[in-house]
Amino acid sequence: MLRVPAGGRTLADARAHGADVRVVYGPADALAIARSEPDRFVVFLGVGFETTAPALALALREVEASRVDNFFVFSLQKTVPEALGALFAGGALGLDGLILPGHVATIIGRVAFDFLARSPGIPAVITGFEPLDLLHGLDTLVGEIEGARTRVVNAYPRAVRERGNATARSLVAEYFHATDARWRGLGAVPESGLSLRAEYRHRDAEPLISADGPWPEDPPGCDCAAVLTGRILPTECTLFGDFCTPEDPVGPCMVSSEGACAAHYLYRRGGRAHE
Amino acid sequence: MLHITFIAGEVGHMNDERVVELVHGDGGGATGALIEEVFLPRIGNDSLDAGEDAAAIAGGEDLRFTTDSFVVSPLEFPGGNIGDLAIHGTVNDLAVTGARPKWLSAGFILEEGLPFSVLERVLDTMGRAARRAGIRVVAADTKVVGRGAADGMFINTAGVGTVLPGVRMGFDRIAPGDVIVVTGSVGAHGIAVLSHRAGFSFETPVESDSAPLWPLVGRLLEGVGSGLRFMRDPTRGGLATVLSEMARASGVDIVLEEEALPIDDAIDGATRMLGLDPLYLACEGQAVMVVDASRAPRVLDIIRSTEGPWDPAIIGRASAGEGRAFMSTAMGGTRVIERRRGDPLPRIC
């Protein structure tokens, strides 16, 4: 997150110019900072998906109970099924099957993905993250494709239940409600974000940090949006490798080793990666 | 997953002026660029440009000279403190170039308000570490700065050592067929420091591996001589950064075997919990070396019979290629190993 550019700047830049930006492992650590520095406003940047939202909801419950009045949340949390819906609403992508995120599914359950069987109507498999889980998921998906079955299979049953984790979901629903959210590549997607409920508005950092004005546009020439929606390969972006590298990324796909562009950069053939 | 917290308050107006960022201290690519683009053009010369851990300098004997600064936070951590770290860091930079550590200078920057008890503990540890490594502290300086101008204390040490006769280690001696040996489990120092840091505190039995690589390196050089091709201590940038730089500078490929890596169970547990890669965690008492394959068994024997935090293993080999580093994973895949990029964990040493 520190190195992700937006509007030409990063949080690391802001920190070097004097902003107090700290990396923590979770909301509980941010809450500890708020408690130990009561004279300062502490804003937790809530970036994540269904997996991280319950921990933030728990921190909010604790904050409300203990009346820590200098802890705020800037919620940019997003939900996966709505984004998948928007992705396929944009037209044919030429996909044969889908690997679905196992950890998100532990919260929302297998059934939350059932809509994929109707549209786009291609095989989908919920997969874990360890190497064997991934191989098992791929093997299952190939079987589904060969059998021309269009259903959502749970290949990660040791963690994912049919209906997910009801406790976590109700905790999230207590503090957040679905709201329109912007996604890079997809634009505004209805009901795909999580905002604080009105009764917890006093914890919302947005009014404090005056995050008004237009959202930053993608840098000129940056095709992250097309990469993220599967319309082009990273190597087809005109900035790739010459103007945009992992050492000096222009768009977010080049930042972390998990980004599509960074992975293509590192593993492309021809040896240019080390120049 | 790491999360971000802002502490609202006075924020300097952002302009386009280039400023030093924490990433410039990552010990990897950003540090390399800073050195090459900003430092070397202004203060560089043959010795500095060579980029060795300790420079060769003219004198009556074959001398090596190096310096290192220590800003670790917290000052005291499981398995050590900034004092023994300041000795081991410089001793090890000399040792990996084949030099017997001889003389050391120490500069102290103390912050107003530092408890004497902490200062005394640090100096006690420092004295013990120096004696153990056989290096004499022959010059020292102390400055005190106002509260807020330093975080407790910072230490700079510089060291001079004498190279054992006939030793020649360097990137140019690495050849296809050589094997890669690491002295022990990687990542202990990084995990130990992290476990006691505000915002990260967690329970772990892991202690820092802070230890001197001398006399170990002396014994290795006596035992296998020119069978040692190259050696470095994987500090800030971790094992990955050393291997990547080794491959880049020598022009041969380095191929690591994931399953051969010695990683202590407690370190393995902590890195999995925190989502950190042990290949990028700092060590302060380990060396990674390139060894003539026929001498590797002898190297392992010598390390095992020397007292220290060691559990040596052959972790890979050098092969003809284009100067890249890879890891063969336990699942049969191949991962590219890169220099460290960015640093979520600054002030580790």
User: pLDDT tens-digit profile of B22-64?
Assistant: 888 878 888 888 888 888 888 888 888 888 888 887 776 789 9
Q: Are residues A95 and A149 in the same domain?
A: yes
Q: Which helix (H) or strand (E) holds B246?
A: helix B238-250
Q: Are residues A65 and A26 in the same domain?
A: yes
Give A-chain residues touching B21 at CB under 8 angstroms. Answer: 12-13, 15-16
Residue A214 included in any domain: no
Name which of B15, B22, B324 is nearest A274 (Cβ-Cβ). Answer: B324
CATH code that applies to domain B53-163: 3.30.1330.10
Give B-chain residues touching A48 at CB under 8 angstroms. Answer: 1, 3
Q: Are residues A24 and A150 in the same domain?
A: no
- Phi, psi angle pair for B277, to nearest 5°: -100, 115
- What is the crossing angle of helices A53-66 and A27-36, to 10°? 30
CA dist., res. B321 & res. B23, Å (int): 30
Global pTM value: 0.80
Domain boundaries, chain B: 53-163, 171-337
Q: Are residues A130 and A244 in the same domain?
A: no
Residue A208 included in any domain: no
Residue A209 included in any domain: no
CATH of the domain at A182: 3.40.50.11740
Quote the ipTM score. Answer: 0.71
State in Å, rounded, how far the first CA of chain B is from the last one: 24
CA dist., res. B291 & res. A45, Å (int): 48
Q: Are residues A52 and A177 in the same domain?
A: yes
Each residue's pLDDT, cut to its tens digit, for chain A (275 residues) gives 777 777 778 888 888 888 899 888 789 889 999 999 999 999 999 999 999 999 999 999 999 999 899 999 999 999 999 999 999 987 778 889 999 999 999 999 999 999 999 988 999 999 999 889 999 999 999 999 999 999 999 999 999 999 999 999 999 999 999 999 988 878 899 999 999 999 999 999 988 876 566 777 778 888 988 898 888 999 999 999 889 988 888 888 888 778 899 999 988 754 443 33
Sheet containing strand A41-48, strands side by side? A20-24, B3-8, A41-48, A71-78, A187-196, A176-183
Structure tokens at B328: 């063969």
Residue A114 included in any domain: yes
Cα torsion angle, B125, B131, B134, B137, sign: positive
CA-nearest residue to B4 within chain A is A23
Q: Which helix (H) or strand (E) holds B225?
A: none
| Cβ(A169)–Cβ(A107) below 8 Å | yes
Min Cα distance B311 → chain A (Å) is 27
CB contact under 8 A, A22 and B199: yes
CA dist., res. B139 & res. B132, Å (int): 18
Q: Per the structure, how many domains does chain A have?
A: 3
| Cβ(A22)–Cβ(A34) below 8 Å | no
CATH number for B171-337: choose from 2.70.98.60, 3.40.50.2300, 3.40.50.2000, 3.90.650.10. Answer: 3.90.650.10
Q: Does B203 touch chain A (CB under 8 A)?
A: no
Name the residue with tokens 């005394």: B120
Name which of B3, B19, B248 is nearest A45 (Cβ-Cβ). Answer: B3
Look up the domain containing A198 and give its range.
11-80+166-203
Name which of A44, A208, A246 is nearest B5 (Cβ-Cβ). Answer: A44
